[in-house]
């Protein structure tokens, strides 16, 4: 192969940095759009948009602190989607 250990280490670090950059860029691709039926669609979280009507978003946003607390209380049971 002909690559030294230092070359391999540099390449691994470069790939790690590229991976971090790609993950960060992916999270910045979130966007909102008004749906054809007048709902608010959130794109970029899943394969298809998540769409709720105005009052549904207001209820969800009103529960922000409760959601954070619930997640904190149940963190050991919850899974993260990597990638």
- The predicted-structure confidence for 23-53, as pLDDT tens digits, reads as follows 666 556 899 999 999 999 999 999 999 999 9
What integer is the mean pLDDT of 60-64? 97
Count, residues in the chain = 83
Q: How far apart are the first and last CA of the chain?
A: 30
CA distance readout (Å), 4 to 13, 14, 15, 17, 69 = 14, 15, 17, 20, 49
What pTM did the predictor assign? Answer: 0.60
Backbone angles phi, psi at 46, to 5 degrees: -130, 180
CA distance 33 to 31: 7
Tell me the β-bridge partners of 40.
34, 52
């Amino acid at each position: 192969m002909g690559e030294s250990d230092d070359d391999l280490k540099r390449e691994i670090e470069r790939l790690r940095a590229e991976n971090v950059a790609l993950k960060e860029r992916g999270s910045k691709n979130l966007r909102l759009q008004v749906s054809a039926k007048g709902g608010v669609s959130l794109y970029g979280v899943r394969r298809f948009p998540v769409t709720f009507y105005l009052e549904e978003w207001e209820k969800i946003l009103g529960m922000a602190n409760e959601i954070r607390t619930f997640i904190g209380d149940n963190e050991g049971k919850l899974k993260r989607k990597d990638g």
